[in-house]
Amino acid sequence: MRFNAKDLALLARRPSGCFDKEGKLKICRVVGDEKLIEPRERWCRLKGNLLFLMKNKSSEALEVVILERCWIVEFRSKTDVSIVLKFQSGEPDLYVEAASKPDCESWAVALGEANSEGLQNKIQQLRRLIMEIKEERSSDEARQFLPSPQIDSLGEPQFTSIQRIANEPKLEFSLACKDLVAATRDRKLNTFIQVSVVHPAEHILTRYSSTEIVEGTRDPLFLTGVTFPPEYPIYEETKIKLTVYDVKDKSQDTVRTSVLPDHKEPRADVGRSFLGCTTFRVGDLVKSKEQQLTLTLRTSDGGKTVGTIEVNLVKMGELEDEETDHITTDSQDQKCALVRECTTAEGISGKDNLPSLNAVLKNPICKLYRFPTSDNKWMRIREQMAETTLSFHVPKELINLHIKEDMRRNQELKDLGELAPHWDNMRKSVIAHCDQMLSMYQDTLAELGKHTGSSFKSSCSKGEKTLEFIPINLHLQRMHVHSPRLKDALYDVITVGAPAAHFQGFKNGGLRKLLSKFEAERRNTGYQCIYYSPENTAKAKEVLSNINHLQPLISSHADLLLNSASQHSPDSLKNSLKMLSEKTELFVHAFKDQLVRSALLALYTARPGCVLKKPAGPRNSAEEGGDVQHEDHPSQIKRQDSIPHHSEYDEEEWDRVWANVGKSLNCVIAMVDRLLEKDSVSNIKEGENDPSAADCNVLHTGGDWYEQLYPLVITLKDCMGEVVTRAKQSMAFVLLQELACGLPQCLMLTLRRDIVFSQALAGLVCGFVIKLHTGLRDQGFLQQLHSVGLLVQYEGLLSTYSEEAGMLEDMAVGISDLQKVMFKVIEAKSEDFLPIITGRREHYIIEVQLPAKMFELLPQEIKEGKLLRMYPVLFNVGINEQQTLAERFGDTTLQENINQENLELLKEYYKLFTEKMPPDCLPHFQEQNDLKGLLENLHQNIQAKKRKNVEIMWLAATICRKLNGVRFTCCKSAKDRTSMSVTLEQCSILRDEHQLHKDFFIRALDCMRSRQTQGALNESDDPETGCLTDNKPTSRHFYPVALLLVSSHLLVVWLILSLALLLAKYQ
């Protein structure tokens, strides 16, 4: 193309207002990835499709770039401020660098619109808009006698809602094309359909989803359908636009389609070309007689016909008897034979449990597939992924409990009374450190209270301190399978990032190693403090918890007893006495441990002055039969010889104080029996004496009941108060030793363990709630739940190399700690159905609330508040390239030990299951494998120590499903490896349990993993980064990631570089 140089020079010197855009940019030419020269600053002016490059604003134009047959490559990271213009003519690329990210984005838009191809796209967009207006006008003329949408009192139109079942998708349909016309006669089409929605109120076109790509046919049958979730605003007046594309370069298309704005069509040079489009009203499909529409595909100008699209409405609750004689990729004559029974697993997810389920699940993403079976039928699969509000609710509840527990502990340390200078300084140091940790917990809780937006933590936020208690990417992955000849089935998997303290890092390993090292160091502590084993420390915390729980109960039951006596009510008196006796016996039993006695002695030696007084007589065997580990206390106490000895300590005084509680209770029981005996109609003589009452020095039984019981109850309370004071101080002294022996490591390990446990517990609560709702009508499962407990199986995909080894150590401890969690199902008293957490560290009770109608379905044992046990097990198999390094040059002992330990736990659960449950309660699969054989096979695979033995994961998952367990899949961030594992498991289930056609296994797997089927996401919809990028997937679980195959040569290079970096780091 020829240009007049004078005219161009004149155009370049025109005033600033005459140009589309101008400003300073750094410019240079690029060949491949190498810049020919360093970028130089130029004043750039854009007019039409001409870009003038000038040395400064007032100089002559040095160069003119014609924006024709070129495209823009924009770097989407947050720091890049540059773009590259690529030309089809083959001339060197133009590198353009702006001063800031907003400036770079504005130039990218301006240059893209100035391109001649961009102008052509605008023309095509206008043509399509004209065609749609014509279609709308013609359809309006055809419906001029039909009633239009009603107008409300505010003048806003009222649209017609679609009738649906509660908690079911509003609309689902499948798609197929026929007789598509290719651009060239010999070309084989690789097509997909893009689905867009035109909302009737806004008249804005919104890209919704896409099908998978079907290759090599002009009559494609798409296995991926379209589904709209219950809360999606779709009405009969809503229009659906279907656009068919031919993909030239599949890899390029999957990257480019997700970053295009809705108002722009992709260029033909990025890997796909436009074939045709059509539009239909939702009402036309819903009200059609055959629930099917056959639509004509037309080109953008509306003139040429390029094929047809068949839209079939899907209603999984209806029955169709038509069968398919033959299924191939290209056939279009089949209809889906659908049978949905009323007793399906999802049948309970209706009106009754909808509020409680919606309380924990939100923002579902639904997918619909149809796959052929081996007997030439169609099965339908509805896939759903949902976030959970428990991601933040459970950690906030847990942190709140930690704060209360730590405040109570700090107060108990302050209430120890006067201590010798050494111990007093130790207490002050411990309290100061504890106050700092308490302040940190309070700040974290306050920050979480301010959180708004997404209900889950994305992987890019795993290193944020304020979110370290929150699990990563916690989601429910549900697959609802409807087979024509089999009962409907639900398969749930909870996906979550490995519970780990990412903010604290893994330089020194994870919890498994850190706790072992800390305990070894504590055993070698010098004279500064007394060593108590972890078992004794846990026992001290349990005693303190029992005191805080039982003392107020005993006091309230004692007051109820007096109230019953004042009312002269025999029945009420009996009941109050029974409750008082039970709680007091539990109270007394809590102090039978030798730990309390030895701790009291240790505390006495820590007073400003003490003298030990040996007991006059030997103790009985019952008193000396305590924990043998406490025999080392006298030697520890001898270290305190510097403390002055000027008082006496009677070691038997505790026995007397402790026994007084029981004696006082016996007096109360005897008096109540005497009063009831006198009140009853009997032949007992008036003057007959009761021997037990005589021991209590009760000389008469006449007078008012209240007056006779009152002094005895007061004595009981006084004795109990004295026991509580001494026991609290002794157990607080034990906790003081635990904290003092390891400051500040002890508190930091407690914090790390709290963080990991918080993430693990959030996932567990979510899994339990979902499992309870799913199995609410399964009496066998409910019996198993209260008789045996619930199996919770975690599938770990972490490697044992570098940081992931530390993550695995954290994860193993966090999951093991879940054994201390108990669940309790209660009836909801309000509209708030979120779980309630009570308890303390190492002993938590999760109260799950159900509506009254659902609560009535539970067995009597669960309704009465029986605590339900959890049996968590973890099996880990590293599968990524880092695991290859660990297996060849590292150590896999950690993974082997974890798998072996959890195999024993799984066998223990199976043994308990077989002892308490009948054999007919197991789920019935097509091939009912013997569980004992599966366990033996799992044992053999673990012992084999085979590299990347994924058979371990499949066997563990199968056993879990057969035992009605809850399935978890975890990797570092619950993205790549998790998505690969979940989709493979789903397709394997379809093949093994639902007769998926063997020739369609790979295609079904590709459909579930395809990013193309997800369509375009808004920035707020990207679960990982919050932005759209060229190098990151735009969905959570529906995309493939190539597992890297590392050759031996590359491994050697990798090892050498790693060693060099390691040496450089520590020099």
- CA distances 99 to 46, 82, 107, 112, 1028, Å, are 17, 9, 11, 19, 22
What is d(CA 991, CA 988) in angstroms, rounded to the nearest whole number?
Answer: 5
**Does an H or E element contain 957, and which?**
helix 951-962
Beta-carbon-side half-sphere exposure of residue 939 (alpha carbons within 13 Å): 10
What residue type is 236 in one-letter code?
E
Q: What is the dihedral of CA 126, 127, 130, 132, to 10 degrees?
A: -100
- Strand-pairing partners, residue 82, are 97
Helices (H), 450-533: 511-523
Taking Cα atoms as reference points, which of 488, 88, 484, 145 lies closest to residue 319?
Answer: 484
User: Phi-psi bin for 928: left (phi > 0), alpha (psi -120 to 50), beta?
Assistant: beta
State the Cα–Cα distance between residues 16 and 13, nearest whole angstrom. Answer: 9
The residue among 623, 363, 394, 653 whose CA lies nearest residue 499 is: 394
Report the C-alpha gap between 175 and 152 in whole angstroms: 36
Dihedral angle computed from the Cα positions of residues 779, 780, 784 and 787, in that order, rounded to the nearest 10 degrees: 70
Q: Which residue has the tokens 């161009």?
A: 8
Distance between CA atoms of residues 597 and 627, nearest Å: 11
Q: 């649209």: which residue's tokens?
A: 159
Structural element, H or E, at residue 837: strand 836-840
The question of whether 971 is a catalytic residue gets the answer: yes
Give the strand pairing for 157-158 and 40-47: unpaired
Q: Do the Cβ atoms of 319 and 338 come closer than 8 Å?
A: yes
What is the distance between the alpha carbons of residues 396 and 133, in angstroms, rounded to a whole number? 53
Q: How far out from the chain centre does Cα 182 lie?
A: 46
Q: How far apart are CA 485 and CA 685, in angstroms?
A: 80
d(CA 504, CA 809): 14
The CA distance from 358 to 353, in Å, is 8
Q: Which of 277, 766, 971, 1007 is catalytic?
A: 971
Give the 3-state secondary structure of residue 711. Answer: helix
Please count the other Cβ atoms lying within 10 Å of the Cβ belonging to residue 229: 17
- In angstroms, rounded to a whole number, what is the distance separating the alpha carbons of residues 669 and 673? 6
Give the β-pairing of 612-613 and 649-650.
Answer: parallel
CA distance 350 to 389: 20
**DSSP state letters, 808-819:** HHHHHHHHHHGG
* Residues in the chain, total: 1067
Please name every residue paired with 869 in a beta bridge, in sequence order, or none if there are none.
822
Token pair of 380 as six digits: 């339908």
Whether the CB-CB separation of 259 and 237 falls below 8 Å is answered with no
Q: Find the helix or strand (DSSP H, E) in which 985 lies.
A: helix 976-994
CA terminus-to-terminus distance, the chain: 63
CA distance 501 to 752: 6
Own/partner pairs for 13-16, CB < 8 Å, 24+ apart?
Answer: 13/60
Reduced to 3 states (helix: H, G, I; strand: E, B; else coil), residue 664 is helix
- Enzyme catalytic residues: 971
